[in-house]
Amino acid sequence: MSGNEIRELFLSFFESKGHTRVKSASLVPESDPTLLFTNAGMVPFKNVFLGLEKRPYKRAVSCQKCLRVSGKHNDLESVGYTSRHHTFFEMLGNFSFGDYFKREAILYAWEFVTEYLKLPKEKLYVSVFRDDEEAYRIWNEEVGLPSERIWRLGEEDNFWQMGDTGPCGPSSEIYVDRGEEYGEERFLEIWNLVFMQYNRDEKGNLTPLPNPNIDTGMGLERIASVLQGTKTNFEIDLIKPLIDFGQEISGKTYGENFEDTVAMRVIADHLRAITFAISDGVLPSNTARGYVIRRILRRALRFGYKLGIREPFLYKGVDVVVEVMKDAYPELLQTRAFVKGVVKAEEERFLHTFRNSMPVVEEFINTALEEGRRFLKGEEVFKLYDTYGFPLDLLEEIAKEKGLSLDMEGFEREMEIQRERARQNFKIQTKEVQPIYQHLKNIGRTSTFVGYEQYVAQSKVI
């Protein structure tokens, strides 16, 4: 079954169960300033769950664009290394606002997974919250799952809360057994059912909600990988064209060696993230959301660099994302030219910095490794930052891959020295402008403007 078919099947299945189909909201949460990006299907319904907003329906179904790159849910650094994590992904979800509850939610999920998707029952496992006898009983007695296939887990995995106070409740997750060869990732979590049945007050007390809610989320890419029998999410029909794009542009082969494979996955993932985010109006910038997008774009460029790509290329990948996703998200067609322009300009700007500084980064790293040092010196970090405008978060990641950290205390000392020098210069300059310029000229001192890059590195967000 194709990704598009699974999405449609989910939406129409729940429509047939009296749910209203609701279009995906923007990646920029409309009514939640505390959240940088929509990171779950329930986000656009938050105020409905809180009773602050009324909708003309009590059951809804959606396929929501999600981005998990900040705050509580940040999967950025897992991308490419696990089989199942993306920054951008689509979450299928059904919701009940004070209408049906636990029993129906479980029975609908089971019916969909076993009768519509036809997953073999013997490969399915579920988890319930330790104390949730009701959920345990439904799975065990009504669905007929034997007790050894129902795991009781603790709060960490199976208790959901909106915030420190407010709606919360136990959850239950459905897993697919992919076989021993998957090791740690053998049991793939595909669907999370949240039973919002309590309200938590400031003191931490739980009171039952008069009309409990249902919020569920299933990752479209994960379920597609199960149905399409791919090893990871990256080979499903919705993503593979982007892997092919990476192969084509780099001339490398996916699956041949680990590093190149990870790089192609990261590029495929990040291309989806930046295309959808920019299409939703988030422009690369130095503040909050824009900085996250800038960071993702630069990260993709850096993985491209690892593959030997030295020219702007991401803007061409935008076309691939649009081609694959346009049926489900026709708005991508309207914004395509704009998104490509933004991506290309950003690529050109950063590649310039990057080409100049990468040889220096590599030299510093190699020296550290030769000397048996586990960190880059403060003055080296400072030089990259100050002279080359190299973003510190990216430097930290690159160093980490080689087992090195950054000496940030040393870096701070260098910053202080520079600040002091600037103060002195200012004093001298205001007194005797002419001689100091003459002096600088005599010693052949030139300067480079690195303000853009410095500002970026300082306004580290997340």
192 binds ligand ATP (CB under 6 A): yes
CA 202 – CA 192 distance, rounded (Å): 27
Binding partner of residue 191 among Mg ion, ligand ATP, none, CB cut-off 5 to 8 Å per kind: ligand ATP
Secondary structure (3-state) at 200? strand
Q: Which is nearer to ligand ATP, 85 or 265 (CB)?
A: 85
Collapsing DSSP states into helix, strand and coil, what is residue 81?
coil
**Residue 189 is a binding residue for ligand ATP (CB under 6 A):** yes
* Residues 300-319 close enough to bind ligand ATP by CB under 6 A: none
Of all helices (H) and strands (E), which one includes residue 434? helix 433-442
191 binds ligand ATP (CB under 6 A): yes
**DSSP classification of residue 26:** P
CB of 224 to Mg ion, least distance (A): 18
Question: Does residue 192 interact with Mg ion by CB under 5 A?
Answer: yes
Q: Does 218 bind ligand ATP (CB under 6 A)?
A: yes
- In the block, tokens 């989320």 appear at 217
CA–CA dist 167, 196 (Å, integer) = 6
Sign of CA dihedral 441, 443, 448, 450: negative
Rounded least distance, CB 270 to ligand ATP, Å: 13
Coil, helix or strand for 4? helix
Which option in Mg ion, ligand ATP, none does residue 294 bind, with CB closer than 5 to 8 A by kind? none
Q: How far is the CB of 357 from ligand ATP (least distance, A)?
A: 30
In the bound complex, what is the minimum distance in angstroms from residue 247's beta carbon to ligand ATP? 22
Identity of the residue, 189 or 237, whose beta carbon is nearer to ligand ATP in the bound complex: 189
Neighbour count for residue 55 (Cβ, 10 Å): 13
- Regarding 105 and contact with ligand ATP (CB under 6 A), the answer is no
> Amino acid identity of 228?
Q
Counting residues that bind ligand ATP (by CB under 6 A) gives: 16
- Residue 244 region by backbone torsions, left for phi larger than 0, else alpha for psi between -120 and 50, else beta: alpha
Given ligand ATP, Mg ion, none, residue 273, with its beta carbon under 5 to 8 Å by kind, binds: none
Q: Is 371 helix (H, G, I), strand (E, B) or coil?
A: coil
Say whether residue 91 binds ligand ATP (CB under 6 A): yes
Which residue's CB atom is positioned nearest to ligand ATP? Answer: 219
What's the rounded Cα separation, in Å, for the pair 24 and 371?
Answer: 53
For Cα atoms 310, 316, 321, give the angle at the middle one, nearest 5 degrees: 130
- Angle (nearest 5°) at CA 454 between 453 and 457: 90
Q: Site residues for Mg ion, window 172-191 (CB under 5 A)?
A: 189
Query: Among 4-12, 80-88, 364-372, 374-382, which window interacts with ligand ATP (CB under 6 A)?
Result: 80-88
Residues of the shown chain interacting with ligand ATP in the complex, contacts defined by CB under 6 A: 68, 75, 84-86, 89, 91, 189-192, 217-219, 221-222
Binding region for Mg ion (CB under 5 A):
189, 192
